[in-house]
Every structure is written in C-alpha cells, then in structure tokens.
Structure 1
C-alpha cells in the first residue's frame, strides 16, 4: 500500500473507530466517587423499628425486553440480550405485604418494548398491590409504576425522602434515594427475620456486570454535555460494589437481569 492510502485508511479508522469506542464500549467515568453508603448504617436503620421483619421475598416475571448488552453495561458487547421486567413482594406474618414495583399493563408494556407479557402474573401482582400495606417503587417509569387502575387503599404513605438520606419505611426495609439520577430512582435494602439481606438496585444497575465491573450503560447522543449523569451512575455502582465487599452474603438484585434473582422464589401469593 502507498503511504497516502495508509494515511487515508488510518484517518477513516480514527473517524469511525474512536466515536464507536467512546459511544459503545468505553465505561469510564473519571470523576466518579463511591456514594457514602455504609452497611452498618443500613442495618441500624433496618432495626430501628423493633417490629416484625419480612420473612420471605418473592418475585413475578411480567415480561421481557430486548436490548443490546452494551446499552446496559458498556463494554460487554453488541450482542442482543433479553432482560426481565419483574415485581417483588415482601411477606410479613399477620401483616399486609410490601410490594416493590408493580408491573404494568399489556398496552403499556407493548408501548415500552416489553414482550411476552404475562397477564396471569400481572393479575397476581395486582391482587397483592390492592392488599399492600406499603408500595415501593424503584423508578418512576411506566413498567415500574404498576397498573394505574389498581388502588392500594391500605398502603401507608412514604416518609419524606427529599433530603436524599436513606429512610427506614418498615421494620427490616430501608429506601435509599438516589439524588443525581432521573425519574426518582431509588434502591431498597431488605433484612429478613432470619438475617438474610437483599439490595434491590433498580435501574442504576440493570444487570450484574453493571455493579461488578462498574460499567454504566453505553453513551448516547443525549449524554453529550451532561457528564454529571454518567458520573452519578458510576458513583452509585461503586457504592453497590463496596456494599457487596462489606456484606458478601447480601444478595444484589439488579434491575433487569435476565436470570431469576438468587434466593428469591418465583410467584406472588396465590389467591
């Protein structure tokens, strides 16, 4: 090849390759620092009310959504991945259940790219939502909010979370607001009566690779000029990773991992 052709090919490679790498594969966020989450603080909050802790966590799979792995965790590849849309319930003896997320409806699911919608699973979720003593939401988004026609007349109101500090909302249950992230993003820490612990990460860590390797999703054009959002996501991922090292037996439940959550049986309470 002539020097001129080599230079041309190198220029093309840089023009195409560098933006592709930066948008799709680069997971860096150099300004990120782990959010100050402490496992002892979360445990103290979980035990600040001496009432009955939940005894069991269960889940329902509402449907699946197709994505590229890179969109969820940059650098993990351009291969397609089917991710789950789930709801969770905490069972408490002689008390109303606590629901974490609440599914959606068939139409809303379709509008948001959710396939294989399970109407029977949603019926079970709707029933538990209508009986819930507390409703928690990991994200203010249509596939997290639940069926808008289902009410929870006995649900307690949440405390004010405006200062961004973790709050105990029930014995064994702590809500962790995520300032800096959109759509009222939250995590939930749960300590069961038998001592098992769970951290529901919501969409800040949609898949396991997100928090294990500190990989925010791939950049988009909308991210240009708004590096603070990516920095916030990476900072929360660092905090989750640090909590895992401080409490290695705690189960980290990503927002939309394809695999069923570890240690969480399938199926809401039947009626």
Structure 2
C-alpha cells in the first residue's frame, strides 16, 4: 500500500542525504586536508644573526648531542601532516642532551610513565625515564621548547623538582599557569621565588646554543639552535615542526589537532613552517630536529648526528 506523499518523502530523504554527505565531505576536508598558506606575513629566521649570537659566548659548543626516547604512539600521518595520507607513523616523546666537556644542557623532558599512560601511548621506557631524571639532576641548564605536557612534564614530575627548578630556563609563558600546561600541575609551593628567563628575539645561553622565540604552537614556544664543537649546526624545532614532513611539504598538523586539541595560532605556525622550508633550502647542511618524528630521529642517529640514549 502506497503511503500518501511517499514520493515527496523519498525525494526529501534523498535530498537531505545528499546535503549531509556534502557537509561530511566538507568537514573531512576542513579537519584533515585544509592547509591554505597565508597570502601575507612572514616569520624571520636570520641565520647570520643567530650564528653571531652563538659566537658571542666564548668557548666551544657541545661535543655531542644525545637523544633519549621515552615513549611511542602510532597515529594517522594525516593528523600530524595535513593533507598527506592515513598511514600510521611513529610519534615519539623525546629528550635531548647537549654534552660539553664540562657541563650538559637538557632540551625538553618528555613526561613520566603516568602521563604517558594517560595519553594512551603504545609503549614507555622506564629505564629511559631514570636516565632522564639523572640527566636533569646533573645538567647545568634545562630548556623547554614549549609548555605542553610531553615537553615540560618530565621536569614537573622529577622527584627532585625543587632542587633542579632554579636551573630550568623557563620563559614567562612556559612558567605561567595557563590552559596550555593542563593537565599538568605544579607541586604546591615549588614556584615560590622562581624568576622566569626573559628575552626577545634570540638569546645565547651557552657557547653555540641560542634560544629563538617562536610563539604560535603555544605562547611560550621557542626553537633552539645548536652549533656543535665541530661546526655542525642543528635546529631543534619543537612543535613548530613536529614531523620532518611538516617542513619538507610545508604542511602543518591537521585542523583537528591544531583547532581542537592544541589550540594553537595556526597562521603563526604555518609562517614558521614556510620559513623553515626556505631556511633548509638555503642551508641544506643545517640539521633540523623535529619535535616528535620517531623515524627522522632514528635516521639522524643512524647517520651519527645524534647519539642514541643518554650516557
């Protein structure tokens, strides 16, 4: 038996389904594929000025750079590199150590096993965490690329935080209690008396080591230039470029990540990525160390540019 108005109802259902399908396609494109580049603006990376600042402090740079990988999680590449593909890639949480003849500097501190478990990581290395805790204890300085839990969390989870905090060079935004630091918590009372490390533009903190202000991924984001004692140059990008392909393809993280998880200044990060792409084209010997690219870090270790594990 035919229901009165059945043909009109079918047309309405078909039309509505078509509209919903179109909305779904647009949503998927916007969330995962959209990577429109700004038509104006730039992020300045003046390598000559950075080199001059690196030479301002007398002495040689680090003799080697060590990397400790604490955890891994596999995610679709398209989440980390917008408009790429849906294959799974290794997102690693890492810490680095610059080893001088008479001191060391730790760059980024990943996070402890409890935070890794809360982030649903696929694996965690407790032995690497113990080496990181010891490295932070022994370091002359600790610097963080930005105030997210998988970079700052290891510092806050250190059982010796009160003793090592004075040598952590946190800029004001990294030290602030802001939405970017959640779900991390500062232990009660430990912040009292700490003075953030303030600078503008670029600032040398040791021979061959220069901080570069780069707000965008977070307000306190910075990159770290390192000129090794043998003259080889490195640039630790933090999450201005989480993956090597962010720079190679000039594609940042997907909008799903940037707009709903990290809440970053997407335009600023794209401009930084464009600047890094140009910089590496002009200076191909400059070694980029991306913030989370497990495969890229393994390749740098295989090439002898980074040393696996803290020694």
Question: Which of 13, 25, 33 lines up with 1:17 in the alignment?
Answer: 25
Higher helix share: 2
Shift in alpha-carbon separation, 1:172–1:203, aligned structure 2, 3 A:
same
Verify: 1:53 aligned to 2:61, yes or no: yes
Q: How does 1:166-245 map to 2 (within 5 A)?
A: 166-182=202-218, 184-220=220-256, 223=259, 229-245=265-281
Q: Are the counterparts in 2 of residues 68 and 77 from structure 1 also a CA contact under 8 Å?
A: yes
Determine the structure 2 residue equivalent to 1:265.
Answer: 307
Shift in alpha-carbon separation, 1:186–1:221, aligned structure 2, 3 A:
closer
Question: Which of 160, 182, 198 lines up with 1:150 in the alignment?
Answer: 160
Verify: 1:108 aligned to 2:144, yes or no: no
SS of equivalent to 2:124: coil
Deviations, residues 178-212 of structure 1 (Å, cap 9, x unaligned): 12432521111100110101111101211111011
Q: Are the counterparts in 1 of residues 63 and 230 from structure 2 also a CA contact under 8 Å?
A: yes
Verify: 1:247 aligned to 2:255, yes or no: no
- The gaps in structure 1 that reach 5 residues or longer are none
Shift in alpha-carbon separation, 1:148–1:32, aligned structure 2, 3 A:
farther
Shift in alpha-carbon separation, 1:158–1:20, aligned structure 2, 3 A:
closer
Give me the whole-angstrom Cα distance separating, in 1, the residues matched to 2:22 and 2:55: 56
Verify: 1:135 aligned to 2:137, yes or no: no
Q: How does 1:68-107 map to 2 (within 5 A)?
A: 68-93=76-101, 95-107=102-114
Question: Which of 45, 49, 64 lines up with 2:72 in the alignment?
Answer: 64
Q: Are the counterparts in 2 of residues 206 and 254 from structure 1 also a CA contact under 8 Å?
A: yes
Which stretch shifts more, 13-22 or 55-64? 13-22
SS of equivalent to 1:220: helix
Give me the whole-angstrom Cα distance separating, in 1, the residues matched to 2:38 and 2:169: 39
Q: Are the counterparts in 2 of residues 87 and 100 from structure 1 also a CA contact under 8 Å?
A: yes
- Number of aligned residue pairs: 262
Shift in alpha-carbon separation, 1:216–1:157, aligned structure 2, 3 A:
closer
Give me the whole-angstrom Cα distance separating, in 1, the residues matched to 2:143 and 2:54: 15
Give the drift of 1:11.
4.3
- The gaps in structure 2 that reach 5 residues or longer are 1-10, 172-195
Which stretch shifts more, 98-107 or 179-188? 179-188
Which of 1 and 2 has greater Rg? 2
Q: Are the counterparts in 1 of residues 258 and 266 from structure 2 also a CA contact under 8 Å?
A: no
Deviations, residues 55-86 of structure 1 (Å, cap 9, x unaligned): 11010110102322122110112233221111
